[in-house]
Amino acid sequence: MEGTRTWLKNYPTGVPANIDVDKYPTLVDYITKKCTEFAKRPAFSCMGKTMTYKEVNTLSDQFGAYLNSRGLLPGDRVAIMMPNLLQYPIALFGCLKAGLTIVNTNPLYTPREMEHQFVDSEVKGIVIAENFAANLEKVLSETSISTIITTSIGELLGTVRGMIVNTAVKHVKRMVPAYNLPNTVTFKEALKQGKKFKLPEFNNSPDRVVVHQYTGGTTGVSKGAMLTNKNLVSNMMQIKAFLDPYVEGDGSDQVVLCPLPLYHIFAFSCNCLAMMSIGALSVLVTNPRDLDSLIKEFTKHKVTGLTGVNTLFNALNNHPDFAKIDFSNLVIANAGGTALQKKVADEFEKITGTIIAEGYGMTEASPVVTTNPKGGVRIGTIGIPVPSTDVRIVDDNGIIQVEGSEGELQVKGPQVMKGYYNKPEETAKTITADGWLNTGDIATMDKDGYFKIVDRKKDMILVSGFNVYPNEIEDVVSRHPKVDEVAAIGIPDDKSGEVVKIFVTLRDSTLKKEELISYCREQMTGYKIPKHVEFVQELPKSNVGKILRRELRDKEMLK
Between CA 136 and CA 72 the distance in angstroms is: 19
Say if residues 345 and 372 touch (Cβ distance below 8 Å): no
Phi, psi (degrees; rounded to nearest 5) at 52: -80, 165
Q: Report the C-alpha gap between 12 and 45 in whole angstroms.
A: 31
pLDDT, residue 558, reads 86
Q: In angstroms, how far apart are the furthest CA atoms of the chain?
A: 73
Neighbouring CB atoms inside 10 A of 518's CB total: 11
Residues 6 or more apart in contact with residue 328 via CB below 8 angstroms: none
**Distances, alpha carbon 284 to alpha carbons 50, 87, 261, 262, 301, in Å:** 10, 11, 9, 9, 12
What does the chain come to in residues? 559
- One-character DSSP codes across 2-43: TTT-GGGGGSPTT--SS--TTSSSSHHHHHHHHHHHTTTSEE
Question: Which pLDDT value is given to residue 3?
Answer: 56
Count of beta carbons in the 10 Å neighbourhood of residue 49: 17
Q: How far is CA 405 from CA 68, 106, 170, 362, 408, in A?
A: 53, 37, 55, 22, 10
Residues with pLDDT less than 70, the chain: 1-3, 216-221
What is the reported pLDDT for 219? Answer: 43
Distance, CA of 229 to CA of 211 (rounded, Å)? 9
Helix (H) or strand (E) holding 265: helix 265-267
- The predicted pLDDT at position 458 comes to 79
Tell me the domains of the chain and their CATH numbers.
Answer: 50-204 (3.40.50.980), 460-558 (3.30.300.30)
Angstrom distances, CA of residue 353 to CA of 323, 332, 333 = 11, 10, 11
Tell me the pLDDT tens digit for each residue of 198-257. Answer: 999 999 999 999 999 998 644 456 799 999 999 999 999 999 999 999 998 999 999 999
The model's pTM is 0.88
Q: What is the SS3 assignment for 137-197?
A: HHHHHHCCCCEEEEECCCCCCCHHHHHHHHHHHHHHCCCCCCCCCCCEEEHHHHHHHHCCC
| Residue 17 phi, psi dihedral angles, 5° rounding | -70, -30
- Predicted local confidence at residue 455, as pLDDT: 78
Which residues face 227 on adjacent strands? 211
Contact assessment for residue 335 and residue 359, using Cβ atoms and an 8 Å cutoff:
yes
Report pLDDT digits (tens) over 276-332.
999 999 999 999 889 999 999 999 999 999 999 888 999 999 999 999 999 999 999
Q: What is the pLDDT of residue 221?
A: 66
H, E, C per residue of 347-410: HHHHHHCCCEEEEEECHHHCCEEEECCCCCCCCCCCEEECCCCEEEEECCCCCECCCCCCEEEE
Separation in Å, CA 179 to CA 123, 131, 150, 162: 20, 9, 11, 21
Strands (E), 215-295: 224-228, 255-258, 281-284
CA 293 vs CA 44, 332, 426: distances in Å: 17, 21, 41
Q: Which of 113, 85, 95, 114 is nearest to 31 (CA)?
A: 95
